[in-house]
A and B are shown apart, each in its own frame.
Chain A
Amino acid sequence: MRHSLNEIEVTLRKATIGAGIPVGLAQDIGQAAAWLAACGMDGAGAGLAAITGKSAAAIGQVADGGAMTFTDASVAYAGPSAMDFLAAGHAVQLTGMDAPLLLVGLAGVAATTYDLDIACDFGAAGVVSVTPDGLSGDLPAALGRDVNLTASPATSVANDTKASAAGIEVADAVWNNIVELAGKTYVPESEASRLLGAGAGLTDND
């Protein structure tokens, strides 16, 4: 079924919270999924893979070469932090990622937010370049689990190509899983809640 970008962002954000991940990370994951969707990629699936993947919080270490390194990386946790360090001028490395496509989405949002050109070097799988303008070139057929990230000041200006996006098809199985996780943030209905929680009466025939 086709879903709007806003639906993807909001529902992924709720699903991430429903998966027990902090709200601030959920905001980043929702935006990254929507960015991917705006570029015609499976942002919803990428987001779902991240929030149902590894659950370890991210603790990066500065490697010998000076790069901030996240090993055995949960993209849901390490991805947003990786973008923070990238924007702060560090080179960043993630290994053993559970959801590499979402990492590209996070890089896309970071490129727009911080006005950067970001190179995601997946080694043998190829290099994915993102700019404030979107994805530069084609995405490799398969992304690796390890990536080196470098950033430089953007050389292009966002041209709002994403603004014409009219939503994207999302596989029903993926969407249903996301909705189910989002549902964990909702409080079950009760008669007391129904009567008291929103104040209004139940019929309005005046």
Chain B
Amino acid sequence: MTTIAINKGGFAEATRRAPEHVMRLERMGAAYPNRLSFMRSLIRRLSAENAVVTRPVWEINDQGYGRAVYSVPLGGDIYSLVAFAQPLAPENRSDRVIAEAWDATYALFDGVPTTQDLDRLEANAPKQEAGRYEATELSLSRSNKSVRFFQHVVDRLSQGQQPDPELVNSVGYLMRTTAVYGNGKLGFGDRAIIEKRPAMRGSFQVEMLNVWLIRGFTLDLVEHVARAKNPEKFTPMNAQTRRSLGIGNSTGLGLAPFLVNHCVLLNNWMEVREVALARVRAVETADASAIAQIQTLMTRAARHLDQWNVADERQMARIIELRREWPEIISLASADWLAQVHPWDRLMQAGAGYSVECQELIAALVLEPYGDLVDDLCDELAADVKPTLEPMMRVGQLADLLDGNYKFALDVDFSAAEAQHFFWYVSEAKLEPRLGKRFEEDGAEKESPLDIARRAQALAHDLDGVDEAQTVAEFLMAHPEHRYVARRVQTSQHHPYCEIHDNLLAADCLPIDMLRYKLALFGASKFDPKSDLWTRINMFQGAPLFEDIAAKDADDWWLPVLGENA
């Protein structure tokens, strides 16, 4: 049995999983959404406030082009999605950051925009990065249609028919976003403007709100076009199908540098999840409702896995293995077995004999019945502090921190070519983050500082032989090149989950693992890797629609299943 302790806030906690265990790319790349995910916390708040979405502007023509505004009050403030839909030539429809035109573009406005605001945004938002914005804009984004599915839905609804359920499942969205920007980019409002608002205290809440409103817009848009095409025969989409449609997303390498560049935030995200898991593992006995909920969700998870099919061989093999393992977990976790002491800790321990995907699915599952134990942690997801240098620390202590927390870096043989196979860089083409092969491509001299392992090892090398009583201030005055990594090493003292415990330059580094981790944090599911470098996902699939945000099951959309909750 894992040790139980009483920690901050008086919560009982089992032993937390260690950073060297959970901060590995392989495990991060097997992450699943859970009740702490950013979309889930947003929907809970919207639901708790019985938020009513209004559509004060709908200037969309019969072809589906024009502009619209959706407004929603949240936490005492009003936020408005301003949407612009325009024609797009097929040759220009690209999900890459380097695209320059989209089917629809959006801004999330702080308040309710005036006509002048709309006109200003109409001159800028369709240009995205080439436009300029005011502090009233909090988030900027764009989306492209899933062309065949969008047209299919238009055709079906205009003929009085519902969309093909097989296509609803295999595609799952009408449009996919290709970038969602926030925090002061391009001149819009800094996060500092909203971070003290209770509704925005968590991570990425403004961006998630943006995307949830976009999802509603895409549903309205497709019905509008279908109705205009054939007003006599048109039928609206049934509620279950509407809820089955999320908003797609194409995600490339941009998320990967973010994780490295925001190490306190990364720590908070992981630590909150591990604290939540430790609290649930400390539950001595589960009540009947929790057991029943888990069993229902295990069955739903099995159906979700059955509906999750991807072309990527690596991921599909993992899904197939998980489909084989999951019935064994269900069989093990009978009501009687779960009624014994410390059921969730035992379930986690039992999972250790299965694949990492299976272990992480269990880790997400067991949080579900315990909102009262873990939901308070969502407010701790955002980082209030930046990494701070401790100049008075002695060099000997810095070296000890390196030895204790950066073993993953100190063990790497950087003289081997495969240890420095990749270099991360930013392309001058719309500043797209990219990954190059060091010994085959130009540009390594401009690589981005994601080489944490290599830098940590270099620091260890230069610390060797330095008087242990010297202060970090003195050391860094002579070695400013180590200031960046020294600050990170010191940060690891109080933020143990701040580093990915892998060499991100190594030939076997798979960026897709970082992307999946962050997207699972968002709350995305049905990861559909298209290569090692980018993936498509579905966001808000199964989540409440505008019209049913106040329903009592508003939080019951973990791992959506077509024909059930979605």
Residues of A within 8 A of B (CB): 1-7, 17, 22-25, 27-28, 31, 57-60, 77, 80-81, 83-85, 87-89, 113, 160, 162-167, 183-190, 192-194, 196-206
Partner of B484, one of A7, A27, A31, A192: A27
- Determine whether the beta carbon of A186 is less than 8 Å from that of B426: yes
Q: Quick one: closest B residue to A86, CB to CB?
A: B391
- Determine whether the beta carbon of B431 is less than 8 Å from that of A163: no
A163 vs B197: C-alpha distance when bound (angstroms): 11
Specify which of A164, A190, A197, A203 lies most central, judged by the most chain B CB atoms within 10 Å of its CB. Answer: A197
Chain B contacts for A22, CB-based, 8 A: 480-481, 483-484
Partner of A199, one of B253, B388, B425, B441: B253
User: Given A84-B389, A163-B195, A203 and B91 touching (CB < 8 A)?
Assistant: yes
- Determine whether the beta carbon of B90 is less than 8 Å from that of A203: yes
Can you list 10 pairs linking A and B with CB atoms under 8 Å apart?
Answer: A22-B483, A58-B477, A59-B477, A84-B472, A84-B473, A85-B391, A87-B473, A166-B193, A188-B443, A189-B429
Instruction: Say whether B428 faces chain A, with CB atoms less than 8 Å apart.
Output: yes
User: Given A84-B391, A84-B476, A193 and B436 touching (CB < 8 A)?
Assistant: yes
Q: Quick one: closest B residue to A2, CB to CB?
A: B187
Chain B contacts with A in 458-490, Cβ cutoff 8 A: 471-473, 476-478, 480-487
- Determine whether the beta carbon of A160 is less than 8 Å from that of B443: no
Contact with A along B167-188 (1 / 0, CB 8 A): 0000000000000000111111
- Determine whether the beta carbon of B190 is less than 8 Å from that of A187: no
A200 vs B179: C-alpha distance when bound (angstroms): 14
Instruction: Say whether B127 faces chain A, with CB atoms less than 8 Å apart.
Output: no
Instruction: Flag the segment in B142-150, B224-232, B276-284, B408-416 that touches A.
Output: B142-150
Q: Quick one: closest A residue to B253, CB to CB?
A: A198
Contact with A along B224-251 (1 / 0, CB 8 A): 0000000000000000000000000010
Residues of B within 8 A of A (CB): 90-91, 93-98, 132, 134-135, 144, 146-148, 183-193, 195-196, 250, 252-253, 386, 388-389, 391-392, 425-429, 431-436, 441-443, 446, 448-449, 471-473, 476-478, 480-487, 530-534
- Determine whether the beta carbon of A167 is less than 8 Å from that of B187: yes
Chain B contacts for A25, CB-based, 8 A: 480, 483
User: Given A27-B484, A184-B446, A187-B442, A203 and B93 touching (CB < 8 A)?
Assistant: yes
Chain B contacts for A205, CB-based, 8 A: 90, 93, 147
Chain A contacts for B443, CB-based, 8 A: 187-188, 193
Partner of A60, one of B96, B429, B434, B477: B477
Given A160-B196, A164-B193, A189-B428, 5 further pairs, Cβ under 8 A: A22-B483, A198-B253, A203-B94, A204-B144, A205-B90
Task: Name the distance in Å between B356's Cβ and chain A's nearest Cβ.
Answer: 23
A28 vs B387: C-alpha distance when bound (angstroms): 11
A192 vs B435: C-alpha distance when bound (angstroms): 12
Q: Quick one: closest B residue to A85, CB to CB?
A: B473
A89 vs B391: C-alpha distance when bound (angstroms): 10
- Determine whether the beta carbon of A4 is less than 8 Å from that of B196: no
Chain A contacts for B187, CB-based, 8 A: 1-4, 7, 167
Chain A contacts for B533, CB-based, 8 A: 198-200
User: Given A2-B187, A58-B477, A81-B473, A204 and B94 touching (CB < 8 A)?
Assistant: yes
Task: Name the distance in Å between B327's Cβ and chain A's nearest Cβ.
Answer: 33
Chain B contacts for A201, CB-based, 8 A: 94, 96
- Determine whether the beta carbon of A190 is less than 8 Å from that of B185: no
A163 vs B434: C-alpha distance when bound (angstroms): 33
A96 vs B497: C-alpha distance when bound (angstroms): 42
A5 vs B191: C-alpha distance when bound (angstroms): 10
User: Given A23-B484, A87-B392, A187-B436, A202 and B94 touching (CB < 8 A)?
Assistant: yes
Q: Quick one: closest A residue to B448, CB to CB?
A: A185
Task: Name the distance in Å between A169's Cβ and chain B's nearest Cβ.
Answer: 11
Partner of A185, one of B253, B442, B446: B446
Chain A contacts for B183, CB-based, 8 A: 6
A180 vs B195: C-alpha distance when bound (angstroms): 31
Task: Name the distance in Å between A113's Cβ and chain B's nearest Cβ.
Answer: 6
